[in-house]
């Protein structure tokens, strides 16, 4: 398979027609070898216009959705960005190529291992700080952040994560009820309060790490 040609076709056929206009995002996704962020058995699907299943019930988010989420975050060069449920590191890598200083949190060690290898092979050392932890708690040690990407569908934005935004910070994710029929949202922190605004309809894999624990029932 000619992966370089597949990347070009992805940008021209999936991203540009779907309102991805930020040249940094387009360049990053044209240059980064998306196939390197997948297990070898799944690389042939790297440039399909759908989520690619990963171990542990997770997925590499489809190109159009991850591109539009990153564009929505409006990251500026030098911004501190947190990626939660970073998976195999592709979203974090795109953000780093856009000039962000990225902290990526992943709790699944199999996915984190793929991410570590892919990031080391495709980015300068230190471009992405890969951390283990509980994604629904964010990563307070690096806060505050100018932008946060939760890479998948969640039922709500956890308060603990929203509190780690800097004043004027942006958070992007997909809100949904676990039925793969969600809406991408932009949350902004202004005057100490976080306001969530719908951006576009999309579907992606729900993140079990963000599912609230069931309450006690009498």
**Size (the chain), residues:** 218
Mean pLDDT of 166-180: 90
Residue spans of the domains in the chain: they are 3-210
pLDDT in tens, 67-85: 999 999 999 999 999 999 9
Specify the pLDDT at position 81: 98
Quickly count: other Cβ atoms within 10 Å of residue 62's Cβ.
19
Spatial neighbors of 83 by CB under 8 A, at least 6 apart, are 91, 92, 95, 102, 103, 104, 105, 148, 149, 151
Specify the pLDDT at position 129: 98
pLDDT in tens, 93-108: 999 999 999 999 999 9
Kindly provide the residue ranges of all beta strands, DSSP E only, lying in 139-214, ordered along the sequence: 145-154, 165-175, 182-190, 193-202
Tell which CATH architecture fits domain 3-210.
3-Layer(aba) Sandwich (3.40)
| Prediction pTM value | 0.95
For residue 85, what are its two tokens? 């449920």
Mean pLDDT of 147-173: 97
């Amino acid at each position: 398979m000619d992966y370089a040609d597949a990347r070009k076709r992805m940008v021209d056929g999936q991203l540009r027609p779907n309102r991805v206009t930020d040249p940094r995002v387009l360049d990053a996704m044209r240059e980064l070898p998306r196939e390197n962020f997948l297990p070898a058995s799944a690389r042939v699907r790297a440039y399909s216009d759908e989520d690619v299943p990963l171990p542990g019930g997770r997925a590499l988010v489809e190109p159009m959705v991850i591109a539009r989420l990153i564009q929505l975050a409006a990251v500026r060069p030098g911004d501190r960005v947190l990626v939660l449920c970073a998976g195999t590191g592709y979203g974090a890598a795109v953000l780093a190529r856009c000039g962000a200083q990225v902290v990526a949190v992943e709790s699944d060690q199999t996915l984190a291992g793929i991410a570590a290898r892919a990031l080391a092979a495709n980015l300068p050392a230190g471009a992405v700080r890969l951390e283990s932890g509980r994604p629904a708690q964010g990563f307070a040690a690096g806060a505050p952040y100018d932008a946060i990407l939760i890479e998948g569908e969640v039922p709500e934005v956890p308060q603990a994560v929203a509190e780690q935004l800097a004043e004027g910070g942006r958070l992007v994710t997909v809100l949904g009820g676990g039925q793969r029929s969600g809406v991408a949202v932009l949350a902004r922190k202004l005057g100490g309060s976080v306001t969530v605004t719908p951006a576009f309809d999309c579907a992606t894999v729900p993140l079990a790490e963000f599912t609230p624990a069931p309450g006690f029932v009498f």
